[in-house]
């Protein structure tokens, strides 16, 4: 997992402290990149950049943006895409993101990583094709995130494959 902090090309030179945790094995999943973001607050509200091409999180341009909510205590996942990479921005609420590498030829196959992001610790991260993922709302208000997949959704040929939350593939149980 590559961690990127806000840089001079971001809106501010302020730095955010990373807040990611990983579960055993401690090896970071290959292709998962995360950028911790700076939020600017004043009496009018908040402003936070969610995506910038110059951050080099993903080589392809954004061509679709999906707005997603998750109710408190609920989970979206497990899901995997075979051709699509996801780029996700956590905007509001508190999220536990669990990632499991099941790619046949990946050096990190079998690795499990957990990210914890929230409105107070925002971040944008990438999920490569072949990595199962689930996003759980661990807060008390709606979780809001934005997904920016590298491929538009095709309802005639969807690249979305799901597993039940409890399964024999992923060695993790979401509580």
Phi, psi for residue 144 in degrees, rounded to 5: -120, 125
What is the tens place of the pLDDT at every residue in 60-117?
A: 989 899 999 999 999 999 999 999 999 999 999 999 999 999 999 999 999 999 999 9
Domain range list for the chain: 2-162
Confidence of residue 39 (pLDDT cuts 50, 70, 90): very high
* Residue 95 exposed, middle or buried by CB count within 10 Å (0-12, 13-18, 19+): buried
**CATH 2.60.120.10 holds for 2-162:** yes
What is 107-134 written as a DSSP string? TTTT-EEEEEEESSS-EEEEE-TTEEEE
> The tokens 């499990």 sit on which residue?
112
Q: What is the pTM of this model?
A: 0.84
What is the tens place of the pLDDT at every residue in 105-158?
A: 999 999 999 999 999 999 999 999 999 999 999 999 999 999 999 999 999 999
């Amino acid at each position: 997992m590559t961690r990127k902090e806000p840089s001079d090309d971001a809106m501010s030179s302020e730095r955010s402290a990373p807040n990611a945790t990983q579960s055993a094995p401690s090896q970071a999943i290959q292709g998962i990149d995360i950028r911790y973001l700076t939020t600017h607050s004043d009496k009018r509200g908040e402003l936070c950049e969610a995506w910038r091409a110059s951050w080099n999180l993903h080589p392809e341009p954004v061509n679709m943006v999906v707005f997603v909510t998750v109710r408190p205590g609920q989970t979206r996942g497990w899901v995997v895409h075979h051709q699509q990479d996801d780029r996700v921005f956590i905007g509001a609420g508190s999220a536990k993101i669990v990632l499991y590498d099941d790619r046949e030829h990946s050096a990190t196959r079998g690795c499990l990583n957990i990210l914890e992001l929230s409105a107070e610790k925002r971040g944008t991260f990438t999920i490569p094709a072949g990595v199962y993922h689930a996003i759980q709302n661990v807060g008390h208000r709606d979780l809001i995130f934005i997904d920016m997949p590298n491929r538009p959704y095709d309802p005639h040929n969807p690249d979305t494959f799901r597993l039940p939350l409890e399964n024999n593939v992923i060695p993790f149980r979401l509580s």
